[in-house]
Structures are given as C-alpha cells and as structure tokens.
Amino acid sequence: NDIPNLRFEVGSRPVSAPKPAPTRTPADVAAESSAPAQLQARKPVHKTWDDDPQAIAAINHRSNMNPKHKFDNFVEGKSNQLGLAAARQVSDNPGAAYNPLFLYGGTGLGKTHLLHAVGNAIVDNNPNA
C-alpha cells in the first residue's frame, strides 16, 4: 500500500470586528499636524531650467500639425464663417477668447483644417509655444 494519504480540511473561523478608533481631541489633531523640525528646515526646490534663457530658447518640440493647413488657404463659406472667426480669435489670443474652442459640424467643412491653422498660427507667433 504505497498510496499517499491526502487530506483536505475546509473550514472557516470567525473574524473579529475591527477595534474602534480612539477618540481624538482637537489638541491631538493639532499636535499631529505640526511638521517635524527636519521637514520645516528643507530648502525649496531649485528649478535649473529657469536659470538659462538660452536653454529655454533652444527647446524645440515636434508636433503632428500639418504645416499646409493655414488660414490663408482655408476655403470660407456660409457653413464655416463662425468657426473661422472663432479660430482666428484663438490664434490671436491663446488661452483667452473661446477657451476651450469647440468645433462641431459635418464632414468636409474644415474643422481639422481650422484646428491645424490655429496651431500653426500660434507657433508662427511664438516658436516655443
């Protein structure tokens, strides 16, 4: 009888309820919120990229904007006049007028062209944008 003896025991045990948290007084909270002395003595983080204006000027980003989509070659019609005016405002005043810009319309009315034209105009005005 070389048969191994295998036995499974399945069961459960009662789980005790979590102990209630001790009552904290306002003095306890105030004592915990004061930072340790070593944290108070830390120096502020020094941003090295703010020091060198030439490094900032040398930043060059690659984007997926189509450089052919400009306001100059956009075909304006009754269906997209308002979108064109809003897009020009966004490119002239980034972050101010029409923020965010939301364009909605049917296929082929120039939504993508306008968005690329906005991006190209902003980059033309500020190469590091």
What integer is the mean pLDDT of 5-14? Answer: 75
Q: What does the mean pLDDT of the chain come to?
A: 80
Q: How confident is the model at residue 20 (pLDDT cuts 50, 70, 90)?
A: confident
Domain ranges of the chain: 81-125
What is the pTM assigned to this prediction? 0.53
- Residue 54 pLDDT more than 70? no
What integer is the mean pLDDT of 2-17? Answer: 75
The radius of gyration of the chain from alpha carbons, rounded to an integer in Å, stands at 32
For 113-124, write each residue's pLDDT tens digit: 999 999 999 999
For 73-104, write each residue's pLDDT tens digit: 999 999 999 999 999 999 999 888 788 899 99
